[in-house]
Structure 1
Amino acid sequence: MERAENTRRQRARPPAGRGENTEEREQERKAMETELKTMSRLVASKKRMTVDEISQALGLTRRQVFYRLEKINQVLRPYKVPPIIPGSVLDVAPLTRKALLTAVGGGARLHEYEFTPAQRQLVLYLMLFEGRDHLILSDFMEALDVSRNTVLGDLRQLRQSLETNGIQLFSDRRKGYVLQGKETDLRRYLVLEVMKEIAAIADVQLFDLFLENTQADTFQETEAICLELATKYGIQFAADRMTEFIYIYLFLKMRICNTGIHGDVHKEMADCPEKQFVQSLLKATGSAAFMETEEVSWLTSWILGISFGSVYEDTEDCLLIADITGRIMSRFEQLTGIRAPRPEDMFVKLYSHIRPAYYRLLYGIPILNPLTEKVKQEYKDLYQIVARAVNPASRLAQKKFPEDEIAYLTMHFAALYEGMHPSVQDTRQQALILCRNGIGSSAILHSVLTELFPELEFETADSLEHWSGHKQPDIIFAARSLTRIPETGIPVVTVSPVMDEQEKLLVLREVNSLLGQEAGIPSVDMILSVIRRCCRIQKEEELRHALSALFARKDPVFQTKEEGLLSMMDPGLIRTHVQCETRPEAVRIAYAPLQERGMITEEYIRRTIAGMDLAGPYVVIAPHTALLHTAAEHGARQQGLSLTVFETPVVFGSPENDPVKYAYALSVPQGTPSHLTAMAGLLKLLEDPGFADICDTHDPRRIWDSICLHMM
C-alpha cells in the first residue's frame, strides 16, 4: 500500500522544471500577443505597407513578419473580412482595417494597452518626467499591468539609456523614484523619445492614453487651437512636427504644474510671430499664469525650429538666414561645379529649411531624421559633399551641423540633382503626392516620381484636405510618414522619399498594375532618366529605339555606374614644375591639358577668368587649392579633371587660402552631373595632408599612383 501511495505521489508531482517551463511559455505567449497587437495597429494605420517597413519598426525578420501576419489573419476570420495578403506590399482593405482596430481593442485604457519593451520604458519616463510625488514600483506595475520583475528590468534598461544622456535615475524610501539632471537634458530626452515613437510606429494612441490617464488636456483640443493660431500668425508647420510639438507641450505643461521647475536656457526673445503664437497658445490653454519668460522663450525657439521659413517675409533674421543659405549654395557649387539651373528657386527652397535648422542649432533643439541612414547609403557621395558645403555656415552659427540636418539638406540638393533633366509631361493622368515630412522630402519625392513616371502630371500637398486641385487624381503617392491615409477609392501607393533602384522597380510595377498597364515594364523615358544620371548620352534617339525593342521583351535590371575620380583623370592630365605670375595666366595654364584634348573651348576659359574678375576667387576651395570651373554651357565638351602644380604659388585673391599651389581644372558637360562620385573622392584626397607632400615632389607618376591608392 505504501509503495502504491508513493507511486501515485510521484505521478502527481510535476517533473523538475515543468513549472518553470510553463511560466516561460506563458511569458512567450504574452510577448507574442503584444507583438500581434502592435503589428495589427501598425498595419491598420496605413492602407499600404511594405514588409520591410514592419520589420524595421518592430525589429523582426521578414520571416517572423509573415508568420505573425498568418496569425493575424486567423484572428480576422470570425469578422468575415478580406484577409491580409502577404507580399512585399500589404494591401489592407478598409473593412479589414476596421476589424483589426476592433480586434485589438481600440478603446483600451493605459493599463490595458499592449506595450513593447521600448514603449514600457517610454511610459516610465513620462511618469517620471511628469514629476508626481513619491513614485514607487507599485505605481509603475499598476500603470503597465506587468509584474514587479518586468518593471525592475525596464527600469534597469531605462537607467542605462538615461545615463548615456547625462541623466540619473535615483530611488529612496522617502522620495521614491526621481530623475536628476539638467532640465535641458531631461527635455531633450523627452523630445527625442517622442520623435522616435511617432517615426517608428506612426501610432500616437500611447500618448493619448497617457494624457487621458493623467486627466490632462487632449491632443485634439490643443491641435485645434494650434491650427487656428498658425493661420492667424502666418506660421507653416510640417505636419508631423506640429504633432510632436503638441504632445511635448502637453507633457511639459504637466511637469511645470507638478514641480514648478522651469528651464534655464534662454533669455527673453524679441517679439516675432512665433512668440505671439506661443503667448496666445499659453493663454488659450490656461497656462499663461505659470509659464515664465524662459518658458515662452524655450517654446518660441521650438516653434522657430519646426516651422518653415519664407524668404518673402521681412523678419529680423532674414539677412542672416539669407547669408547662410547663400554660403551653402556657393560652397556646393565650388565643390561640385554644378550650378543650379534655377538658382532663385533653389535659394527659396533652401532658405525654408535653413531658417529652422539655424534655430535648432542655435538653441540645441534635437531633430530626428528617420531617413538619414538611407540618404547616406543612396546619396553617399552627395552627402559627403553637402557635409563639407555646410562648413562656412557652421562657422557662422558657431555650431556643427548634425548628421540628421545634413541628410535633410542632402535631400534638397538631391532634388536639384534628380531634376536636372526635365521630363516630358503627359497630362492624360493626374497624380497627387501626399508628403508631411517637409519641403525637402516633398521635393525629392516629386523629382524621383517625375523621373519614374514621365507620363503622369504631379501635384504635391501635405494632406488631401489641403490640396486645391480641380481634377480628381488618378493615383495618390503617399509618403510612409502619413499616419492616416484618407478613404477615397483612388488607388494609393505608399512610397519612401528616398528609394534605391529595387524599391523604384517595385513601385513601378505596382503603379503599372494599378493604372492598368503591363506590370514590370518601365517606360523608355524612365530608363533614359536612369542612364542620364550615370553618363552622357550622345545618340539619344538611337538609344531610345534600342531600348524600346529591348525592354519590350524582358524586365530591366537597374545598374548604375559610378563615375569615380579615376574615370576623369589620367597621368597625362597632371602637369608639374609650372611657372606663372598672374591669376589669368595660372587659369589658362591649368586649363591647358583639357583644352589640348578638346574637352573645353576657349570660351570656357575666358568665362572662368571673367567670372573671377566679377565675383572674386570663388574657385579657391581650400588652403593653396583651386578647383577651376564655370557654367557648362560656356564650352564644357567632355568630362575631365586635370591637376597643375605650380613651382611658385600664385595669388588668387583669397585672404583665407592664398597663395594657390595646386590648381584642379574641371569640365562637366551640361546635363551630366554624374561626376559627384569623383568630386567626393577629390575632397577626401585633399583632406589627406600626405597627398600635398607628394604633390610637392612634382613627380606626375608618384602623384598618379597616390591618387590610385586613395581610390582603392
Structure 2
Amino acid sequence: MEIGNRNLLILKDIIEHKDTITGKELENKFHLSRKQLSYGLGKINQFLSEHNYPEITRLTNGKMSVPNQLEDVLDQDWFEDEKQELWFSKEERVDIIRLMVLIAKEDLSLQHFISELKVSRNTVLTDLKKVDSELQSEGLILNYGRKTGYFVTGSEYAKRQMIFVVLNRLSMQYRHSFLARKLCRISKENVQSMKNMILEIEGELQVRFAGEMIESNSCFFAVVFDRIQNGMVLDEIPDSFRHIVGTKEYTVMRMLANHRNVQNEFEIMYLTAHVQSMKVEAVPMGRDTDETLGIQEAVEETIQNYEQLSCVNIREREDLKKLLIHHCEPALYRIRYDFHVGLDITEYILPAYQDLHNLVRKSVAPLERLVGKKIPEKELAYISLIIGTYVTKEGQLEVGNTQPEAVVVCQNGITVSRFLISSLKEMFPEIRFTKCMSADQFSKFQEPFDMVFSTIPLKTEKKLFVVEPLMNGKQRKTLRETVLKALREQGILLSKQDLIMQLVRKHISPNLYNKLCMEIEAYTSPQTQEELVEARGELHLKELLVDMNVRVVDTKMGWKEAIEFAAMPLLYDGAITIRYVQAIISNIVENKPHLEVADGVIIAHAGIEQGVNDVGMAMLVLPERIEIDGYIQADVIVVLATPDYESHLLALNELIEILEDDTKVAKIKQARTPNDILELL
C-alpha cells in the first residue's frame, strides 16, 4: 500500500523521538487535527503490519508506545521514495505553487497544480491568489495565458530571492528535500556535486558550515547553475554586493565558478554573497580583514552597551565576544543582503528572555551602523540567545569527573549548538557534557563517552537521545524524566541521591518508596528557564522603587556622600551590605565606568558578588548637579543591586523607558516629594 509521504515523515519522527514524542506535538509539528493524526496513525500501522513490523499504540497520557524493532525502519529507503502519495498543508501548497511557477521550463496549466497537490480546482485557484499577492510584494507578476499557461515576469534577482526562500522552507521547515529536488528537476548527483563544491569552499576558507546550510544551499546552488546554463542570468545586483570583489570568498568562488564555465561577474558576486551568509560551526583563525576588525569593534561596543544598560559585568566576557564575532560575520552579511534563513527562534527566546531581549535591542546600534540597517527581530533573537547563554550560567552546578559523560551533536550552527549544550547542562547537572560537534565530527570521534544527545538520528552503540535543538518548558521536563529513567535502568547514572535511596528502600514499603522518589525528583529537578521566570515572579519597577527607597533632598553634598545616602534604604532593608557601597565608590575612582543613562541621571552599581543579598533599587534627587569624580555630572542618582544577571531586568527596562522620555526626566528632577516620582511609575 501507499502510506503517503506525510505519514512516512510522522513515522520517522515518532521513531526518532520515541521516548518523548506526544500526539499533541505531532499535531502541532505537522499542522494536523487530532482526527487527522488518528487517521494517519491507522495508515502507518497498516503499512507496518504489511511489512511484518509491530504496530505503534497511543497511550492515554498522549505519548506513543514504540516497539524497539521499529528502529530498523529508519534504515529503509521508503523516506526517499518519490512515488509515494503526497498531501500538504495550505502553507506548503502555496510554497509549492510558488516554486513551480518560478522554475517552470514548460507551460503550466491549472491541471499541473491539481495533479501535483492532489486537491480540487477551487483549492488551487484560492492558493494561486495567495501566490499572486506574495509575488507582487517582491515586484514579480504572475501571468496567465491560454496558450502559455501560468508564468512569472520580473527581474531574475527577485525570482532567485523567492526561490531561495521557498527552497529553504521546503527543505528545513517542511522537510521535503526530495520534493524540492523533484520540482526543480535536480538530480541527487547534481546536489552531491554542489555539496562537494561547498566542501571545497570550506577547505579554501578554513571554515566549517552548519549542516543545515550545506543541505539547503546545495539544492539552491544546483538551481542557480542550471538557470545560468539555460540563459537566465542576472542583469543587475543590489549596490550592497559591490564590495564583494576582492574578498577571499570572491576569489574562491570565482575559481570554482570558472571550473563550471560561469564567468559572469554578477553571478560570481551573487554566489559569493550566499557563501558569506552561510551559518558556521567553526570559523577561520587569524583573519584580520577590515571587515572582521570592524565587526570586532562593533561587538565589543555592543557588549559594553549591554553591560552598561543591564548594570552587570559579564564574567566570561572574552568567550562571549568570540562567539558573537563568529556569529555576526555571516549574520551581518545575511542582513546586508536580505538573506534571512534558518530557524525562526523568536517564539523560543522571547518568553524566557523578553527583558534581556529589550536591552539587547537597545545595545546593538554599533552593529546596525556597521551593516547600514536595522537588525530584524529574527536575527536579533539569535544575538539575545548568545548573550542569554552567558548571563544565565550563574548558579549552574559544576559536576565532577565521576559523573557520566555525554557529547552533543547539533547540525544547526554554532549559535544554536551553544544554546543547546547550555540548556542541557542546566537540565542535567548530574551529567558531564564534554563536547559539542557536528554529525561528521561525531563519525570520527574516538574519545570515551557514555551517551549522546543529538538533533538527528545517529549510528552509535551508546545510549542515544534525539532532541529538538530548541525546546519549550514541557519538552525539557519530558526529556529530563525520560533520560533519568533510562540511565538509571541501565545503571549509567547512580547519584548520591540514588545511593541513599537504595538504603532507604530496604526499610520502607514499595508504595512509600515510589512516592518518596517522585517527591524527591520533583524537589531536586532543575527548573527550566521559563519555570524560573514564573517562579521568581516579575519584579516591576513599582515593586522595587517604593516610597521608602526614594529620597528628595535640598542639602548639598559631595559625590561619595550622595552615593552613600542614595544607597541607605537598601542597607536598611538588607538588600546590600556596606561592602557593596564601598565597591561602587572604588569602581568609580579606579575605572570611571559609564553610568549616565539620561542627562544628569546615573545608575550606580557594583558586581553581583560584591555584597548583594537581594534585588534592590533606590533613587536620590539632589538640589543641584554635582561632579562625580570629575568625569560625569548628576542630579539624580539611582543605586541598583542585583544578586544575578536577570532578576532586575524587567524593572530596569521600565526605568529606562521612563528615562527615555525627556518630560518625565524633567518631572523627576523637579520633584519635591517621593510621591511626585512614584506617580510616574
Structure 1 length-normalised TM: 0.79
Q: Does 1:319 align with 2:293?
A: yes
Task: Give the conservation status (yes or no) of the 8 Å contact 1:167–1:185.
Answer: yes
The one-character-per-residue Cα deviations of 1:195-234 (angstroms, maximum 9, x if unpaired) are 32233233411123234x3569621221123123312320
SS at 1:399 equivalent: coil
* Structure 1 counterpart of 2:623: 647
Tell me the number of residue pairs that the alignment of Structure 1 and Structure 2 aligns.
Answer: 644
* Structure 2 counterpart of 1:333: 307
Distance 1:217 1:100 in 2: 22
Distance 1:508 1:227 in 2: 37
Task: Give the conservation status (yes or no) of the 8 Å contact 1:162–1:169.
Answer: yes
* Residue 85 to residue 387, structure 1, CA distance change in 2 (3 Å): farther
Distance 2:336 2:589 in 1: 36
* Residue 70 to residue 273, structure 1, CA distance change in 2 (3 Å): same
Q: Does 1:269 align with 2:244?
A: yes
* Structure 2 counterpart of 1:235: 207
* Structure 1 counterpart of 2:418: 443
Q: Does 1:36 align with 2:7?
A: yes
* Structure 2 counterpart of 1:86: 58
AA in 1 matched with 2:356: L
SS at 2:32 equivalent: coil
Q: Does 1:50 align with 2:21?
A: yes
* Residue 214 to residue 500, structure 1, CA distance change in 2 (3 Å): closer
Cα distance, 1:94 vs structure 2 = 7.6
Cα distance, 1:435 vs structure 2 = 1.2
Which of these residues, 455, 459, 462, is aligned with residue 430 of structure 2? 455
Which of these residues, 258, 281, 285, is aligned with residue 283 of structure 1? 258
Equivalences for 1:187-226 in 2 at 5 Å? 187-211=160-184, 213=185, 218-226=190-198
SS at 2:609 equivalent: helix
Distance 2:36 2:295 in 1: 48
Equivalences for 1:575-594 in 2 at 5 Å? 575-577=551-553, 587-594=563-570
Distance 1:664 1:185 in 2: 52
Distance 2:559 2:247 in 1: 47
Distance 1:184 1:376 in 2: 34
Choose 127-136 or 347-356, whichever is displaced more: 127-136
Which of these residues, 602, 612, 624, is aligned with residue 626 of structure 1? 602
* Residue 495 to residue 397, structure 1, CA distance change in 2 (3 Å): same
Distance 2:232 2:303 in 1: 45
Choose 383-392 or 94-103, whichever is displaced more: 94-103
* Structure 2 counterpart of 1:74: 46
AA in 2 matched with 1:384: N
AA in 1 matched with 2:237: D
Equivalences for 1:502-517 in 2 at 5 Å? 502-516=474-488
SS at 1:191 equivalent: helix
Cα distance, 1:326 vs structure 2 = 0.9
Task: Give the conservation status (yes or no) of the 8 Å contact 2:399–2:431.
Answer: yes
* Residue 692 to residue 188, structure 1, CA distance change in 2 (3 Å): farther
* Structure 1 counterpart of 2:95: 122
Distance 1:582 1:190 in 2: 65
Distance 2:286 2:68 in 1: 43
Distance 2:181 2:67 in 1: 26
Distance 2:254 2:57 in 1: 50
Distance 2:302 2:289 in 1: 20
Q: Does 1:357 align with 2:338?
A: no
Choose 85-94 or 309-318, whichever is displaced more: 85-94
Task: Give the conservation status (yes or no) of the 8 Å contact 1:334–1:618.
Answer: yes
Which of these residues, 384, 392, 402, is aligned with residue 376 of structure 2? 402
Choose 660-669 or 410-419, whichever is displaced more: 660-669
The one-character-per-residue Cα deviations of 1:375-399 (angstroms, maximum 9, x if unpaired) are 1112222222222222343244331
The one-character-per-residue Cα deviations of 1:138-179 (angstroms, maximum 9, x if unpaired) are 554565576655543432231133334443312235654332
Task: Give the conservation status (yes or no) of the 8 Å contact 1:563–1:676.
Answer: no
Choose 554-563 or 229-238, whichever is displaced more: 554-563
* Structure 1 counterpart of 2:639: 665
SS at 2:440 equivalent: coil
Equivalences for 1:292-441 in 2 at 5 Å? 292-308=264-280, 312-427=286-401, 428-441=403-416
Cα distance, 1:345 vs structure 2 = 1.1
Choose 96-105 or 305-314, whichever is displaced more: 96-105
Cα distance, 1:510 vs structure 2 = 0.4
SS at 2:680 equivalent: helix
* Structure 2 counterpart of 1:495: 467
Cα distance, 1:412 vs structure 2 = 1.0
Distance 2:522 2:490 in 1: 11
* Residue 186 to residue 156, structure 1, CA distance change in 2 (3 Å): same
AA in 1 matched with 2:21: T
Runs (5+) with no aligned partner, structure 1: 1-29, 527-547, 708-712
SS at 1:515 equivalent: helix
* Structure 2 counterpart of 1:252: 224
Percent of counterpart pairs with the same letter?
23
Question: RMSD across aligned C-alpha pairs, in angstroms?
Answer: 3.9
* Residue 432 to residue 34, structure 1, CA distance change in 2 (3 Å): closer
Distance 2:153 2:560 in 1: 64
Cα distance, 1:661 vs structure 2 = 4.5
AA in 2 matched with 1:576: V
Task: Give the conservation status (yes or no) of the 8 Å contact 2:15–2:71.
Answer: yes
Distance 1:660 1:437 in 2: 47
Distance 1:188 1:653 in 2: 55
Which of these residues, 141, 152, 161, is aligned with residue 125 of structure 2? 152
* Structure 2 counterpart of 1:679: 652
* Residue 651 to residue 398, structure 1, CA distance change in 2 (3 Å): farther
Task: Give the conservation status (yes or no) of the 8 Å contact 2:207–2:284.
Answer: no
* Structure 2 counterpart of 1:24: none
Which of these residues, 455, 461, 470, is aligned with residue 446 of structure 2? 470
Task: Give the conservation status (yes or no) of the 8 Å contact 2:405–2:451.
Answer: yes
The one-character-per-residue Cα deviations of 1:61-120 (angstroms, maximum 9, x if unpaired) are 4564345323311221121213234355557568536658969673325x9655544434
Distance 2:551 2:494 in 1: 46
Distance 2:435 2:486 in 1: 20
Runs (5+) with no aligned partner, structure 2: 499-514
Choose 129-138 or 255-264, whichever is displaced more: 129-138
* Residue 281 to residue 319, structure 1, CA distance change in 2 (3 Å): same
* Residue 82 to residue 677, structure 1, CA distance change in 2 (3 Å): farther
Task: Give the conservation status (yes or no) of the 8 Å contact 1:216–1:250.
Answer: no
Distance 1:454 1:119 in 2: 41
Distance 2:157 2:562 in 1: 53
* Residue 424 to residue 214, structure 1, CA distance change in 2 (3 Å): closer
* Residue 288 to residue 183, structure 1, CA distance change in 2 (3 Å): closer
